[in-house]
Each structure stands twice: as structure tokens, then as C-alpha cells.
């Protein structure tokens, strides 16, 4: 087949990139070689627009066993245990085909985790949809939630946390970010480097089909009016096969037979082969005649870039093939030796007696274009004085409106579609600050959360991303966990536009600052660019997945008010910041001004204080203050515990409008509930830490009562909070 400029463009390569390819090859590529370069040099696989900036992120620390560059990141949990985790996007496929797109996103991220020898123990997700009134939104919500639930539930891994949000800016580009956490032994971790010559290269799992061809290329391009025609690029998953694959892989891993292992994810057999060979400094020869196929007459091109699901590539120790084959056959899975490592440094592909590809391995992994794209900074927004934001007719009326709004309502309808209790180690179910999953057979647990506030990032990318990192750190802190590390999913529009690239660059700056200040390194992640349709992009959405450790489950906290008479104390003070707040957005219909500033030193001091109070047993409930401000935080504690509060703040805040005090989204703040006898200890600890502590009320009754006049019953509040989602989905 003649390689024409039109064919090159169809493969997502720019003219100068094709010239680079020609220079590497010294000849015109075959169609198969063009396909290989197309997927490996795609944005999705090569990170050609982001690699330069990602290098600035802090990725190490005493708790880090493996940082970015492998299938997933790893942190040490002590006692020979480690947590393996990562977050990835399946945005484009989920918009085209919501059920399969979301389902295979879950399957793919679990494979990244168990590839490293870890048993998956928890899934989370971060979902963003368009305006609820948009004609496609309900369909997309239903499909994505069903896909996540269907796949995760069938595999038997609990979905324990996440976030769901709506904004018209995601009407034509929804975001589906999936996160998985696994548990492994530190001396039983597996990596992807194929080190050694003359070693068998083995294909295991499901057969290869024609689904998902050019999925990586599709995920690296913006949408247009014909996007739905790209359905053939969406993979089709089978969770029951995934479960078998997990068990078979973990069984073989116990046999000391594996030298390297890699999931066949984006770019399929091409990426797994080239990445394993490059990391090991070897060449690989493949014979595609031996690849298990479920469709007839597949070409080399199709087999190499298919993204059929539930498949792995392994390099085994010589002589271990019979043991490995017996295990995979026992689990009803395909097993085939399809190649061998060598010292050529090349990826050579044979099919039906012909050489279909012969490419230097390093050029696929390391010679992709690296762009320092031009960027322009986002103009610094001005702070909106609280006095300029109109006050509500009543505080309780505004609270009820926020809690009933799509942006502030309960997500119970979503998480009830997921099995969050399977495996029997989920300690804290969805709805709290962070999920808690016990390390089986111990009194230790992993805490996990994911978070970002895109309206903050859109207004000020650096400060908004700093806040996203800090909030995930607070969420872990609020349950008593020691924050260990993050994974991220950086979702942006077209980086070829300087203003979008500027958002990305400034986000990296904010993330770097927060991670350094909080000793909270980045160990894994994903970049998803070109999230736009017909030139209209999404808001910058750097989703942050945080993982922490609870060393003693007897010393943890949740947000539920437990006892009548407990004193509610606000730790961290207030400034009444209403710019970019939920109050501003929902009550006044605006979203303007600067987001709340994030003082990282204050975050650190306040968080360390809260963690210490939890471990000392001085607090009975904890909740960080975020979306909606102080009154929303208290309302969530009230609903979780099923008991009311009398709110009468002690002193201060005279210079802040009342609605700004209750709804301002100032950072580095927590509400703690304490027994009256323990209040003195809390005030003293706060004073020693240099943190303002203010009594704001007392638990008890069946309503939220503010001062002497305003009252909202728990019954009315719960009905408002729980009602929107089921009504919207017709449940």
C-alpha cells in the first residue's frame, strides 16, 4: 500500500513527524510500521506535549518504592506490605459508547495494578458530565455508571469512592477517570523490563479481535460532529475473563517464572512489546501466526494495534513455559509463545512468512516528538469581596438550595449501583471524606480519595491545582490517615492552543508546590489532552487521587455526629471567601473572581493537628470544609449522624458578612466534634500549633438551628439532599 500524505494524516501524524519517521527508518514504512508509529507517537502513548513539564513534579520520598514510569506507582505500607495504585482516563471511549468505554476503563486500570503482582482491593472514579438538561447527559450517566458497576461488581473488586459532577462545559466531552489500588508484598513486585536474551515472549488471556483498533490515536484527537462514527475504536470488555486473568497471573507470579510482564492496554501488542524491550535493553521478534485470534483473516496491522481487552504479555524464564501454560489452561485462558528476546535492539514482526515490521525499539519509546509548546498564562483573576456577593433571604433556605442542587446533592444513587462491600474489608463506605479499606488480616487500612474543583482551576490553574492536591490531603487526614502519595489524571483541551497549554503548565506549577510542601509525591498518573469538540474545550480538570495509611483502625474518624451534647469546633479560622464558591454559583447564578487562596504551611499545620487529635482520641467526628463552606460541612455531618445541631459561633468574624462566614470556601479548615470534657485539650492543642479554634455550636435535636431564629429540620434537609439524583434518573 502506497503511503500518501492523506494516509499519514489519517494516522494522526503531522508532516514533520512523518519526516522524522522517514529519517529513523531510512526508507518508506510499511502500512504496519506506519500504524505502529501512529499509536506509539500518539499523545496518549508518548505524552509528547506534557513530558517536559511532568519532569518537574516531585516523585520520590522514603515511602516511595516505584514512581512514574511503570504500570503503576508503589508506596511502602510497612510490615512487608505495599500499595500499588494508578488513575487513568477513558474519556473519549466513554462518550462514544458509555457502557463499554467506562467498563474497559475499569478493567484497564485493574490490569495496570495486578500486572505488578498486586491483588486489586479497591476502585474509585472521578466522573464529570454535562448540563443535566442536555439531551445526552442522562444517557451518558446511566451508561457510565452501569459500565463501572457492571465490570467492577463482576470482577469482585469494591468501588469505594469517587466524585460525580455536572457542568455544561462537559456537554460534548465527559470525563471518566478510573483509579485502582492493589495490595502486594514488597518482595513480590513485578516489573515490565524484559531483561535477558533468548527468553520466550508469551501471550496470555483473551483472543485478539478487531475492537479498539486505533483507540490510542482516537484518544489523542479532538472530537467533531462525526465522533460517534468512531465506535469501532472502543474496546469491548469481559469482566469474568478479567477475574480469571487476575487469578491466573497471581498464581503464576507465585511460581518464580516471570521475568517481565505488561498489560496490553493502549496500543495493544505494539506498546507492550516495545516498552518491555526498551526497558530491558533488548530486541524482540514476534511471530503473529501464533497470536490467538477470535476473528478470521486478521492482518498484522490489526493484531498489533488492536486494544482487545483482558490480555497480557510476559517474558518467562526459559523452561517455565509448561508450568505457565498449565496454569492458564486451568483457568480457561489462551496461552501462546509468540516470540523471543534477542540482542538486536529491534522489534521485528513476522506474519505468514513475511516481515511486516522491522523497527529500532528505542525509536518507538524514546524518539517520539517532544514538544515545548508555546503557552500563555491565564490572567490573574481579582478577588471578589464578600460584601459584593448578595446575601440570601435566609441562611437555611440557601443551604437547602445548595444541598438539593445537582452540584451539591447526594451521590447515593450512583454509589448504590456499585458493590462497595465485596471482599469484606471496606471499613468506610462512600459518602465520607475518604474511603477506608482494611489490609486483610490486620488492623491497618488504606485510605483513598479523589478530588478536584475545576471551577477553581479554570479561574487560576496554579492555585486551583494546589487546592486539589491539598483537598485530597485533607480528605485523608480527616479520617486519620497519614497521606502517602498521589496519582493524577490531568484532563485538558487542545494543547496546541497556547492558552490551554498555559493552563497545563500552571497546573503543574501548583501541583509541584503542594506536593513538596505536604511531602506528598506523585507516583503515577495519566495525561488526557484534546478533550474538546469543534474547538470548544473542557475546563482544566487535574483529578488528584490520594492514598494514605491508617496504622491502627481503632484510631480513625468519620464525619457522622455521634453524641448529643458534643461541641463543634472549627479549626483553621475564616476569611469568608465567596469567589468561585458553590454559594456564588447556585444562589447568585455566577462563577467569577479568584478561587480561595491556599496557604500550604497552614494546611500542613492544621492537618498535622487534626491527625494528632484523632490518634489521641480527642474527637468523635471530623470533616474538612470544602465545597459549600462551613454550613454545608456541618449539614453533611448532621445527615451522616442523624442528629441535629444548634449553631451559635463564639466571637470573631464580626468583619465578615454572615453569609460569607457560613458559605465561604476558605481552605485549611476542619470541623471537629468533641465531648465537652475534651474541648479544653483541643483548644490547647490548637493554640500550641498556632491554629485558630472557634466553638461554633453543639450537637443535638432533629434540626439545624442557626442562632435564635433559623431552623431546618433533618427530615426536610435529607429529602432535599437525597431527592434530586433518583428523580433525575427516574429511579
pLDDT given at position 237: 83
Q: Give the contacts of 491 (CB within 8 A, at least 6 positions apart).
A: 89, 91, 175, 177, 528, 531, 538, 540, 541, 542, 543
Range list of H helices, 411-556? 412-415, 454-459, 461-478, 498-518
Helix/strand/coil (H/E/C) assignment for every residue in 342-372: ECCCEEEEEECCEEEEEEEHHHHHHCCCCCC
Rounded to whole angstroms, the Cα distance separating 713 from 66 reads 50
Give yes or no for a contact between 82 and 65, defined as CB atoms under 8 angstroms apart.
yes
Note the pLDDT of residue 653: 59
Helical segments of 592-731, H only: 600-615, 629-641, 658-663, 676-689, 714-729
Is 44 among the residues known to form the active site? Answer: yes
Which are the contacts of 135, defined by CB distance < 8 A and separation ≥ 6?
A: none
Given this model, what pLDDT does residue 232 score? 56
User: CA 437, CA 444: separation in Å to the nearest integer?
Assistant: 9
The kind and range of the H/E element at 263 are strand 258-263
Spans of the chain, pLDDT less than 50: 218, 220, 227-231
Q: Cell 505495599 appears where? A: 82
Q: Please tell me which residue in 11, 90, 420, 659 is annotated as part of the active site.
A: 90
CA distance to 392, 575, 596, 629, 714, per residue, from 389 (Å): 10, 14, 15, 15, 28
Active site residue 11: no
**Residues composing the chain:** 731
Cβ neighbour number for residue 439 with a 10 Å cutoff: 20
Strand partners, 609: none
What pLDDT was estimated at residue 227?
A: 43
pTM comes to 0.95
Residue matched to cell numbers 463564639 = 650
**Cell representation of residue 214:** 486505533
Question: Can you read off the three cell numbers belonging to residue 358?
Answer: 522491522
pLDDT at 135: 95
Amino acid at each position: 500500500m502506497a503511503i500518501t500524505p492523506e494516509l499519514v494524516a489519517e494516522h494522526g501524524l503531522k508532516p514533520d513527524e512523518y519526516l522524522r519517521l522517514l529519517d529513523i527508518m531510512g526508507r518508506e514504512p510499511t502500512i504496519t510500521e506506519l500504524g505502529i508509529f501512529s499509536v506509539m507517537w500518539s499523545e496518549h502513548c508518548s505524552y509528547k506535549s506534557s513530558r517536559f513539564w511532568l519532569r518537574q513534579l516531585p516523585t520520590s520520598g522514603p515511602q516511595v518504592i516505584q514512581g512514574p514510569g511503570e504500570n503503576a506507582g508503589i508506596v511502602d505500607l510497612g510490615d512487608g506490605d505495599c500499595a500499588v495504585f494508578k488513575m487513568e482516563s477513558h474519556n473519549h471511549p466513554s462518550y462514544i459508547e458509555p457502557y463499554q468505554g467506562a467498563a474497559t476503563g475499569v478493567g484497564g486500570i485493574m490490569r495496570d495494578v495486578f500486572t505488578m503482582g498486586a491483588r486489586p482491593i479497591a476502585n474509585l472514579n472521578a466522573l464529570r458530565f454535562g448540563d443535566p438538561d442536555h439531551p445526552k447527559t442522562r444517557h451518558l450517566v446511566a451508561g457510565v455508571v452501569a459500565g463501572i458497576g457492571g465490570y467492577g461488581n463482576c470482577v469482585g473488586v469494591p468501588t469505594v469512592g469517587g466524585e460525580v459532577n455536572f457542568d455544561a462545559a462537559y456537554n460534548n466531552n465527559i470525563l471518566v477517570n478510573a483509579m485502582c489500588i492493589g495490595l502486594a508484598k514488597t518482595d513480590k513486585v513485578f516489573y515490565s523490563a524484559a531483561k535477558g536474551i533468548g527468553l520466550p515472549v508469551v501471550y496470555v488471556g483473551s483472543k485478539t479481535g478487531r475492537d479498539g483498533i486505533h483507540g490510542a490515536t482516537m484518544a489523542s484527537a479532538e472530537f467533531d460532529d462525526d465522533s460517534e462514527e468512531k465506535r469501532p475504536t472502543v474496546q469491548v470488555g469481559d469482566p469474568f475473563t478479567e477475574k480469571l486473568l487476575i487469578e491466573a497471573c497471581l498464581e503464576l507470579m507465585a511460581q518464580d517464572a516471570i521475568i517481565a510482564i505488561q498489560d496490553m492496554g493502549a496500543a495493544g501488542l505494539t506498546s507492550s512489546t516495545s516498552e518491555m524491550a526498551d526497558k530491558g535493553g533488548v530486541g524482540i521478534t514476534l511471530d503473529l501466526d501464533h497470536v490467538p485470534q477470535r476473528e478470521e483473516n486478521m492482518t498484522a496491522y490489526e493484531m498489533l494495534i488492536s486494544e482487545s481487552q483482558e490480555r497480557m504479555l510476559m517474558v518467562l524464564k526459559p523452561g517455565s513455559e509448561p508450568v505457565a501454560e498449565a496454569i492458564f489452561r486451568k483457568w480457561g485462558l489462551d496461552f501462546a509463545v509468540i516470540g523471543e528476546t534477542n540482542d538486536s535492539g529491534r522489534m521485528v514482526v513476522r506474519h505468514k512468512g513475511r516481515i511486516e515490521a522491522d523497527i529500532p525499539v528505542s525509536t518507538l519509546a524514546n524518539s517520539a516528538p517532544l514538544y515545548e509548546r508555546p503557552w500563555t498564562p491565564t490572567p490573574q483573576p481579582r478577588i471578589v469581596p464578600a460584601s459584593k456577593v448578595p446575601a440570601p433571604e435566609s441562611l437555611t433556605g440557601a443551604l437547602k438550595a445548595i444541598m438539593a442542587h445537582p452540584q451539591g446533592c447526594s451521590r447515593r444513587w450512583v454509589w448504590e449501583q456499585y458493590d462497595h462491600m465485596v471482599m469484606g474489608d471496606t471499613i468506610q463506605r462512600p459518602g465520607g471524606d475518604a474511603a477506608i479499606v482494611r489490609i486483610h488480616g490486620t488492623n491497618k487500612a488504606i485510605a483513598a480519595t479523589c478530588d478536584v474543583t475545576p471551577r477553581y482551576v479554570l479561574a487560576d490553574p496554579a492555585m486551583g491545582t494546589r487546592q486539589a492536591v491539598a483537598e485530597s490531603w485533607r480528605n485523608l487526614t480527616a479520617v486519620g490517615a497519614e497521606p502517602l502519595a498521589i496519582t493524577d489524571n490531568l484532563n485538558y483541551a487542545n494543547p496546541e492552543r497556547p492558552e490551554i497549554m498555559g493552563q497545563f503548565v500552571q497546573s503543574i506549577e501548583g501541583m509541584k508546590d503542594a506536593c513538596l510542601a505536604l511531602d506528598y509525591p506523585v507516583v503515577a498518573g495519566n495525561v488526557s489532552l484534546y478533550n474538546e469538540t469543534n474547538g470548544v474545550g473542557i475546563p482544566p480538570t487535574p483529578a488528584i487521587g490520594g492514598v494514605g495509611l491508617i496504622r491502627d483502625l481503632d484510631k480513625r474518624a468519620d464525619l457522622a455526629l455521634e453524641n448529643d451534647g458534643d461541641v463543634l469546633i472549627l479549626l483553621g479560622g475564616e476569611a469568608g471567601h465567596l469567589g468561585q464558591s458553590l454559594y456564588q454559583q447556585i444562589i447568585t447564578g455566577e462563577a467569577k473572581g479568584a478561587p480561595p487562596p491556599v496557604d500550604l504551611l497552614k494546611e500542613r499545620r492544621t492537618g498535622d493537628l487534626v491527625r494528632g487529635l484523632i490518634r489521641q482520641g480527642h474527637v468523635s467526628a471530623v470533616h474538612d470544609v470544602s465545597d459549600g463552606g462551613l454550613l454545608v460541612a456541618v449539614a453533611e455531618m448532621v445527615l451522616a449522624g442523624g442528629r441535629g445541631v444548634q449553631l451559635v459561633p463564639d466571637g470573631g468574624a464580626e468583619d465578615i458578612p454572615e453569609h460569607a462566614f457560613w458559605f465561604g470556601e476558605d481552605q485549611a479548615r476542619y470541623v471537629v466534634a468533641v465531648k465537652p470534657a475534651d474541648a479544653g485539650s483541643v483548644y490547647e492543642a490548637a493554640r500550641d500549633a498556632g491554629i485558630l479554634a472557634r466553638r461554633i455550636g453543639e450537637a443535638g435535636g432533629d434540626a439545624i438551628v442557626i442562632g435564635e431564629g433559623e431552623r431546618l429540620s433533618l427530615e426536610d434537609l435529607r429529602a432535599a439532599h437525597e431527592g434530586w439524583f433518583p428523580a433525575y434518573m427516574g429511579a
